[in-house]
Structure 1
Amino acid sequence: METQRIMEFPHKNMDKRPRKRPRLTWDMPPPLPPPKVLPAIYCVQEFGNGMLPNYAYSSMFYREPPCNGSPPWRPDDKDGHYMFAIGENLTPRYRILSKMGEGTFGQVLECLDDEKKEVVAIKIVRSIPKYREAAMIEIDVLQRLARHDVGGSRCVQIRNWFDYRNHICIVFEKLGPSLYDFLRKNSYRSFPIDLVRELARQILESVAFVHDLCLIHTDLKPENILLVSSEYIKVPDCKFLSRSAKDGSYFKSLPKSSAIKLIDFGSTTYEHQDHSYVVSTRHYRAPEVILGVGWNYPCDLWSVGCILVELCSGEALFQTHENLEHLAMMEKVLGPLPQHMVLRADRRAEKYFRRGARLDWPDSATSRESMRAVWKLPRLPNLIMQHVDHSAGDLIDLLQGLLRYDPAERLKAREALRHPFFTRDMRRGS
């Protein structure tokens, strides 16, 4: 039997910042054609496991929803994903406009809320018990965030949730592209330092807010930081002005508004809960997680440090898929790991070290390509100075505080917000 349990959240915390111009089509699909032009095509795991932006999905598959407001009942696919057709309803209230992305948890659909007359993003969780349980924990976290996030400016806002055909569905406000998607569509060109400063300030304020509620995000990365607006502008790129560029590549895009919000609280953990062994996406994983010496709030700040380097350079700081190589990259960029952390490494991490607690590199490197990937990395100060024209000294000092190996010595979010990288800029503006 079809069940539909709905929990509403008021819109009083909606972001009410005015927009001076209409929303542009940075990540929006083309306008919907008239109904009944083409038959629907069922969409289940057609685009791999990565989260993809809207523009990858054509609205040509749109069709008018059935008169009774409910689509035909279909079995889930073999992995428990909900099967749907563009243009159908998801309950009588929500009309499916496009598929926005997909992950291990399920799918995200762009839908029109016929009751509120607004476009929303709906996360449809796979009909598998462990994912349903995780979704209920995420809803609890989102409710807690919504109660305390006055103005709704730090984290994505939950609109409501319901249980539909054995799928937990979480309704969110519709935001713009992620910082990663913006970088990718901008040919991985770095952001200017003043924009990085403003983004960094908001990221740290959001992380401080989450930590104040005794929550650890555990999966901070550019994919999980979304611009509120999709509007952007084109500006000349000084690095390309002296070259003969084609297709306007001497211009780069910048977001028109720097407002951002954190998303994806599916892995968020309460400070007092048992902590899983491994957390965070590989490139943003803190050394204490790899070494198995225990993790807490500071693992989020390490991730923030990695994110800021990526925003400055356009590329992930540690592009690796293996623990030993990852630790070797850390030592190349930041210097040797502290002996007291190495000596505390658990049995799963002991194999990465020789006697005397030195990293077993490059002797245990898996390939020459792996060795080259480590050797080509510069030290952190040199890396930043390659991309930052002013404020480099303050930024380097901030990053060295966020990327301290010892989590006990790492900057906390509110400490980082008092760093001269932010306060010196404020004094200049006063």
Structure 2
Amino acid sequence: METQRIVEFPHKNMDKRPRKRPRLTWDMPPPLPPPKVLPAIYCGQEFGNGGIPNFSFPNNMFYRGISRNGSPPWRPDDKDGHYVFTVGESLTPRYRILSKMGEGTFGQVLECFDNEKQEVVAIKIVRSINKYREAAMIEIDVLQRLARHDIGGARCVQIRNWFDYRNHICIVFERLGPSLYDFLRKNSYRSFPIDLVRELGRQVLESVAFMHDLRLIHTDLKPENILLVSSEYIKVPDYKFLSRSAKDGSYFKNLPKSSAIKLIDFGSTTYEHQDHSYVVSTRHYRAPEVILGLGWNYPCDLWSVGCILVELCSGEALFQTHENLEHLAMMERVLGPLPQHMVVRADRRAEKYFRRGTRLDWPDGATSRESLKAVWKLPRLPNLIMQHVDHSAGDLIDLLQGLLRYDPVERLNAREALRHPFFTRDRRRFGYSL
């Protein structure tokens, strides 16, 4: 199955975050014009043994100043600081570029072949811009911390290696399957069966609980950042389409052959003791305390999990919006009015969303008729779930009402959510039921 990974990087205040380790260098760009012979000196770090590989090159490896099996000639980055590459060439002598997997604000993800380990890996090549480089160094610290505690590597993507190549931080990961978002997109946004949603939700919450136990907050949970371990899938009848024309095969939908998943993208992950005043999370999965400027902590991850579960069982994002007032209006439409004690504490930037400081300025503050329609068409949460779920709807609704509580103090934490009847009442021992 074709996979793409488009990862957003929401932070604009990464300069506030301290750098965690000294910068190391591999193959830095030489002064223009570049010299004919570009030395290749490995200064990366192999995770696990901390050693530095000792490459030895035969005398005939270099020909007219260019390594036959090593790095390509130096070339400038594009105007946005992205690394410019060609499929088939090498990224250091160790990695051969096979394809481009995705691109985001942070940089690019390339599928590469590891000549040393003889395996396919994914390499995240970060843009050569300081704030993204600094965020990448923090991500490396987080990944190594997670790997030390994630025995068996079942919860989070595993880091294989990292190095600094021509002013680009490169992070080498195990190769996984498509994201849940990409799977939904390739499947025409058809929802997952409730038993699969249960299994996926359980794994996400176990991963979140694991991170929170390590005093880490992911802050950017979304279907794009949850990857299936395998790309294999099966076709099953889609009973919602059986009565329609079957010429295009629409009565079938795809389901992953394995429900195993892992979290990715820890470039936004924050330690408990760090500054929690800036805006976090991708818009659709952003908690109300973030929008209101009340500060945030572990509960912001659980709000995101609630939004993800709704999306998996409905096929569509719960809050499809790009503007704060409309977002808050959607929340009130689905979940009821915001608590007054949160409204009166909103920061100055959020005060404009309320009339006389207490009531949401809606619909008077709507920017367009389309915005009004987008809010009006949303049903209450119980009705929304019952439109898509047959059995287990009551348990799922109760779980979501706990994950989507406005007040973060009252919101379920990850361990509490895992003990909810939605996961314990009818637990399958042998995977999800089709």
- Whether these two folds match at TM > 0.5 is yes
Checking the alignment, whether the CA contact within 8 Å between 1:44 and 1:77 is kept in structure 2 is no
- Tell me if the contact between 2:9 and 2:106 (Cα under 8 Å) persists in the aligned partners: no
Q: Which residue of 1 aligns with 2:25?
A: 25
Deviations 1:334-375 (A, max 9, x none): 000000000000000000001150100000100000000000
Contact 1:33–1:62 under 8 Å retained in 2? no
Shift of residue 45 of structure 1?
Answer: 28
How far off is 1:25 after superposition? 36
CA offset digits 1:148-196 (Å, max 9, x no partner) = 0000000000000001111110000000000000000000000000000
Superposition deviation, residue 207 in structure 1: 0.3
Q: Using the TM superposition, give the Cα deviation of residue 407 of structure 1 relative to its aligned residue in structure 2, in angstroms.
A: 0.1
Indicate how the Cα distance of structure 1 residues 275 and 50 shifts in structure 2: closer, same or farther if over 3 A, else same.
farther
- Equivalent-residue separation in structure 1 for 2:146 and 2:381 (angstroms): 35
CA distance change for structure 1 residues 16 and 320 in 2, over 3 Å: closer, same or farther? Answer: closer
State the shift of 1:2 in Å. Answer: 34
Deviations 1:283-303 (A, max 9, x none): 000000000011000000000
Query: What is the SS of the residue equivalent to 2:406?
Result: coil
Work out whether residues 159 and 174 of structure 2, in 8 Å CA contact, stay in contact via their aligned partners in 1: yes
How many angstroms does 1:274 deviate by?
1.1
Structure 1 runs not aligned, ≥5 long? none
1:388 and 1:78, CA in 2 relative to 1: closer, same or farther beyond 3 A?
A: same
Identify which range, 29-38 or 236-245, moves more after superposition. Answer: 29-38
Shift in Å, 1:266:
0.3
CA contact (8 A) 2:308 2:317 kept: yes
How far off its partner does 1:50 sit?
34
Question: Once structures 1 and 2 are overlaid, which stretch shifts more, 28-37 or 332-341?
Answer: 28-37
CA contact (8 A) 1:42 1:86 kept: no
CA drift of 1:67 comes to: 1.8
Does the 8 Å CA contact 1:43/1:84 hold for their aligned counterparts? Answer: no
Q: Deviations over 1:170-226 (max 9, x none)?
A: 000000000000000000000000000000000000000010000000000000000
Q: How many Å separate the matches in 2 of 1:3 and 1:248?
A: 21
Structure-2 change in CA distance of 1:253 and 1:9 (3 Å): closer
**How far does residue 249 in structure 1 lie from its aligned partner after superposition?**
0.6
Deviation at 1:399? 0.2
CA offsets 1:253-295 (integer angstroms, 9 cap, x no match)? 0000000000000000000011241000000000000000110
Q: Do 2:7 and 2:224's aligned partners in 1 also have CA atoms closer than 8 Å?
A: no
Q: Structure 1's 75 and 327: CA in aligned 2 closer, same or farther, altered over 3 A?
A: same
Residues in 1 aligned to 2:166 and 2:25: alpha-carbon distance in whole angstroms: 33
Task: Indicate if the aligned counterparts of 2:11 and 2:280 stay in contact, CA closer than 8 A.
Answer: no
Farther-moved stretch of structure 1 (364-373 vs 73-82): 73-82
Show structure 2 runs of 5+ residues with no match.
430-434
Query: Which structure has more RCO (C-alpha within 8 Å, separation ≥ 6)?
Result: 2
- What is the match of residue 142 of structure 2? 141
Determine the C-alpha separation between the residues in 1 that align with 2:20 and 2:125: 33
Rounded Cα–Cα distance in structure 2 between residues aligned with 1:48 and 1:388: 44
- Decide whether the 8 Å contact of 1:161 with 1:170 is kept in 2: yes
Instruction: Give the Cα separation in 1 of the matches to 2:349 and 2:31.
Output: 53
* Deviation sequence 1:7-47 (CA, Å, 0-9, x none): 99999999999999999999999999999999999999999
- The answer for the alignment partner of 2:76 in structure 1 is 75
SS of the residue corresponding to residue 133 of structure 2 reads helix
Residues 378-426 of structure 1, C-alpha deviations (whole Å, 9 max, x = no match): 0000000000010000000000000000000000000000000011013
The answer as to whether partners of 1:234 and 1:254 remain within 8 angstroms in 2 is: yes
SS in 1 for 2:428: helix
**Equivalent-residue separation in structure 2 for 1:355 and 1:11 (angstroms):** 31
Q: Contact 1:207 / 1:413 at 8 angstroms: preserved in 2? A: yes
Match of 2:369 in 1: 368
1:246: Cα distance to partner?
Answer: 2.2
Q: Which residue of 2 aligns with 1:230?
A: 231
1-structure distance, mates of 2:107, 2:335:
37
Residue 78 of structure 1 and its aligned partner are, at CA, apart by 1.6
* Kept after mapping to 1: 8 A contact 2:5/2:224: no
Checking the alignment, whether the CA contact within 8 Å between 2:163 and 2:170 is kept in structure 1 is yes
User: Offset of 1:245 from its aligned partner?
Assistant: 2.5
In the alignment, is the contact (CA less than 8 A) between 1:26 and 1:230 conserved in 2? no
Q: In the TM superposition, what is the alpha-carbon distance from 1:87 to its structure 2 partner?
A: 0.3
Match of 1:252 in 2: 253
Q: Distance in 1 between matches of 2:134 and 2:244?
A: 55
Q: 1:76 to 1:32 in 2, by over 3 A?
A: closer
DSSP 3-state at the match of 1:160: strand
Say whether the 8 Å CA contact 2:4–2:101 is kept in structure 1. Answer: no
Deviates more, 1:255-264 or 1:78-87: 78-87
Residue pair 1:222, 1:307 contacting (<8 A) in 2 also: yes
| Distance in 2 (alpha carbons) for counterparts of 1:226 and 1:281 | 17
Question: Secondary structure, in 3 states, of the residue corresponding to 1:124?
Answer: strand
Q: Secondary structure of 2:135's match? A: helix
The question of 1:46 aligning with 2:55 is answered no
**Distance (whole Å) between structure 2 residues aligned to residue 134 and residue 21 of structure 1:** 11
Aligned equivalent of 2:426? 425
Structure 1 range deviating more: 389-398 or 5-14: 5-14
The change in CA–CA distance for 1:233 and 1:3 in structure 2 (over 3 A counts) is closer
8 Å contact kept, 1:285–1:302: yes
Q: Is the 8 A contact 1:26 1:232 kept in 2?
A: no
Q: Any conservation in 1 of the 2:111–2:122 contact (CA below 8 Å)?
A: yes
Whether contact under 8 Å (2:100, 2:111) holds in the other structure is yes
CA offset at residue 242 of structure 1? 1.2
